[in-house]
Amino acid sequence: MRVIAGRFGGRVLSAPSGRATRPTGDRVREAVFSMLGPLDGTVLDLYAGTGALGIEALSRGARRAVFVERDPRAVTALRGNLAALGLGGDEAEVRPVEARGALRNALARAEAYDLVFLDPPYRLAAGLGDELGGALAGLLAPGARVVCESDRRTPLALELPRTHHRRYGDTVISIHTA
């Protein structure tokens, strides 16, 4: 797995062994960022895993990214990826907590994000739409976009206007706006 484009283009990212972490493939990431176009602002990478989506956003112009991941092996890989790229606390913050708790804390701190990546474990995605959508509503900056990745058989559905919906094999990508 590698960073597709931007200032870190071509750099290799590491992932923990096993099947617990499912990084977004290069082809799907390339398609997502093609749909998104130019980036700036602050990114929330929820269920970050290795951080591939948030790192790609930073590589392509995002100002700052917050990575939320609770799996210790994925957090270790994520921190290693950030260190290898020289991304420090001013650009990248890792929050090793459960996603729902991270959203509650972000709401309490009145944080706002311009781009949010939602890539929960596929087996959980179908049941998270209402909860995540409600929590995200208070975190989205004006004009923010939310990118959802899920399995086509159990899609993650948000009650936000959808601008793009694409299928790549068994993976479905939906982009929503605030």
- The per-residue pLDDT for range 9-47, each reduced to its tens digit, is 999 999 887 665 666 778 888 999 999 999 999 999 999
Q: Which residues pair with 44 in a beta bridge?
A: 66, 116
What Rg, from alpha-carbon coordinates, does the chain have?
Answer: 15
Q: Which of 9, 13, 11, 17 is nearest to 1 (CA)?
A: 13
pLDDT at 22 (0 to 100): 64
Q: What is the pLDDT of residues 114-154, one digit of tens each?
A: 999 999 987 777 788 888 888 898 999 999 999 999 999 98
Contacts of 28 (CB under 8 A, 6+ apart): 149, 168, 171, 173
Q: What is the pLDDT of residues 73-94, one digit of tens each?
A: 999 999 999 999 999 989 999 9
Q: What is the pTM of this model?
A: 0.93
pLDDT at 165 (0 to 100): 94
Are the CB atoms for 156 and 148 separated by under 8 Å?
yes
User: What domains can be seen in the chain, in order of their start residue?
Assistant: 26-177 (3.40.50.150)
> How much of the chain exceeds pLDDT 70, in percent?
97
Residue 169 predicted with pLDDT over 70: yes
Are the CB atoms for 74 and 93 separated by under 8 Å?
no
